[in-house]
């Protein structure tokens, strides 16, 4: 099940990256987007050089998402995780590659990795706390 989830996640985020690239290519062909505009974009700047408040929102989003999951409230997990920049960062990777700015793509990929790492870390923390204080038993093997 883990393998299938990982494959689905990679496919989903790869699709977001491809979608960003296609969207940029169409906008560029129509004369509505260019590399200079991309580099000057405040949205791109928030992804590649996030302020501390954005990082705090990502931490809180990761924790909230995992608490919701641990409480078996699956239908609202997306709400908490949308507070993170996963979708924006994945799309920015594709846009930056299509615009010919691999350094921006690398920075957006770092932000994507950071938010994914926050989810993994929050998951371990939430499961540990729940195991320790709610179940109060040794893990099943």
What pLDDT was estimated at residue 140? Answer: 64
* Half-sphere exposure of residue 55: CA atoms within 13 angstroms, side-chain side: 10
What pLDDT was estimated at residue 115? Answer: 93
Instruction: Report whether pLDDT(28) > 70.
Output: yes
What pLDDT was estimated at residue 67? Answer: 85
> How large is the average pLDDT for residues 124-135?
85
- Name the most confidently modeled range: 67-71, 108-112, 120-124: 108-112
**Of 115, 108, 113, 123, the residue nearest 45 (C-alpha):** 108
What pLDDT was estimated at residue 139? Answer: 63
Any residues with CB less than 8 A from the CB of 118 and at least 6 apart, and which? Answer: 58, 59, 62, 84
What pLDDT was estimated at residue 77? Answer: 58
CB atoms within 10 A of CB 54: 16
What pLDDT was estimated at residue 53? Answer: 94
- Per-residue pLDDT tens for 11-26? 999 999 999 999 999 9
Q: Between these two residues, 112 and 2, which has the higher pLDDT value? A: 112
- Per-residue pLDDT tens for 53-107? 999 999 998 898 888 888 876 555 567 777 888 999 999 999 999 999 999 999 9
**Of 92, 86, 16, 83, the residue nearest 54 (C-alpha):** 83
């Amino acid at each position: 099940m883990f393998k299938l989830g990982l494959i689905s996640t990679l496919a989903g985020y790869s699709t977001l990256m491809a979608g960003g690239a296609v969207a940029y290519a169409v906008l560029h062909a129509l004369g509505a987007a260019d590399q200079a505009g991309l580099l000057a974009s405040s949205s791109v700047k928030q992804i590649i050089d996030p302020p501390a408040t954005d990082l705090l929102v990502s931490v809180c989003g990761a924790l909230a998402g995992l608490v919701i999951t641990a409480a078996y409230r699956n239908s609202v997990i997306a709400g908490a995780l949308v507070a993170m920049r996963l979708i924006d960062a994945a799309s920015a990777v594709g846009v930056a590659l299509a615009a010919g700015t691999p350094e921006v793509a690398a920075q957006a990929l770092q932000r994507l990795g950071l938010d994914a790492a926050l989810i993994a870390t929050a998951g371990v923390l939430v499961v540990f706390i729940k195991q320790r204080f709610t179940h109060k038993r040794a893990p099943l093997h």
